[in-house]
């Protein structure tokens, strides 16, 4: 029944169209045909323009997508470079700290050496003074002592032992005194006895 109703509508529409064509003037038909043609041409042009716009939009989207990919790749590359630079900076900072520690150690060593050098200079001055003043004076005193007492001492003995030889007028007498068992006065008296015996 629904098909019959559709067919009846189609038949009525066809009859109305035939009646319209029969009742129309050829000029009116030409005008409608021209308007229809102009509408079709405008539709075709609009379709062409819309198609070109869509193609341009797709191209812009592709270009933007490619630029976005390039920028993402550049960002990744720069992030990698930044990480590498941070690692190098950390290594150089650690090396710098080690170098600073070494410099501080070397500065302390240098200061210690300067102090040692100063002490050595002081000792050298004392040694120079000893060799130019004290030792010649001591040698002179020892020679004078020998000339007066005629006692020649041995210097390679133990600290508490006095050893030497007294050269008297006719006899050389050995001296061997242990200072740990005798007082200084006893030692002096004994030595004075050697000296007096030659006069």
pLDDT tens, residue by residue, 125-162: 877 776 676 666 767 776 777 777 777 777 788 877 87
Task: Answer yes or no: do 20 and 109 share one domain.
Answer: yes
The reply to whether 23 falls in a domain is yes
Name the residue among 179, 178, 175, 180 with its Cα closest to residue 193.
175
Which is higher by pLDDT, 11 or 122?
Answer: 122
Task: Answer yes or no: do 78 and 169 share one domain.
Answer: no
Task: Answer yes or no: do 68 and 163 share one domain.
Answer: no
The reply to whether 199 falls in a domain is no
If pLDDT is split at 50, 70 and 90, which confidence band does 185 have?
low
pLDDT of residue 180: 77
Neighbours of 166 (CB within 10 A): 19
The reply to whether 8 falls in a domain is no
Cβ-based neighbours of 182, under 8 Å, separated by 6 or more: 190
Which is higher by pLDDT, 162 or 182?
Answer: 162
Task: Answer yes or no: do 72 and 104 share one domain.
Answer: yes
Is this structure's pTM higher than 0.85? Answer: no
Task: Answer yes or no: do 111 and 168 share one domain.
Answer: no
The answer to whether residue 192 scores a pLDDT higher than 70 is: no
If pLDDT is split at 50, 70 and 90, which confidence band does 7 have?
low
Task: Answer yes or no: do 105 and 21 share one domain.
Answer: yes
pLDDT of residue 71: 94
Task: Answer yes or no: do 125 and 45 share one domain.
Answer: yes
Neighbours of 164 (CB within 10 A): 20
Name the residue among 173, 180, 181 with its Cα closest to residue 191.
173
Structural domain for 34, as ranges: 15-137
Mean pLDDT across 17-42 = 72
Computed over every residue of the chain, the mean pLDDT equals 79
The reply to whether 77 falls in a domain is yes
The answer to whether residue 113 scores a pLDDT higher than 80 is: yes
Task: Answer yes or no: do 155 and 115 share one domain.
Answer: no
Task: Answer yes or no: do 80 and 178 share one domain.
Answer: no
Counting the structural domains of the chain, the total is: 2
């Amino acid at each position: 029944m629904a098909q019959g109703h559709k067919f009846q509508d189609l038949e009525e529409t066809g009859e109305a169209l035939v009646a319209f064509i029969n009742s129309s003037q050829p000029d009116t038909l030409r005008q409608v045909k021209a308007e229809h043609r102009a509408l079709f041409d405008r539709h075709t042009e609009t379709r062409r323009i819309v198609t070109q716009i869509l193609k341009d939009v797709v191209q812009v989207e592709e270009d933007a997508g490619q630029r976005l990919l390039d920028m993402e790749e550049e960002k990744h590359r720069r992030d990698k470079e930044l990480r590498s630079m941070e690692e190098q900076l950390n290594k150089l900072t650690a090396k710098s700290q080690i170098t600073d520690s070494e410099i501080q150690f070397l500065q302390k060593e240098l200061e210690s050496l300067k102090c040692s050098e100063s002490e050595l200079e002081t000792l050298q001055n004392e040694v120079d003074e000893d060799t130019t003043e004290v030792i010649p004076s001591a040698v002179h005193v020892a020679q004078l002592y020998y000339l007066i007492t005629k006692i020649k001492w041995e210097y390679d003995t133990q600290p508490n032992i006095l050893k030497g030889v007294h050269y008297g007028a006719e006899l050389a007498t050995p001296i061997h005194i242990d200072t740990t068992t005798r007082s200084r006065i006893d030692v002096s008296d004994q030595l004075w006895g050697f000296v007096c015996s030659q006069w």
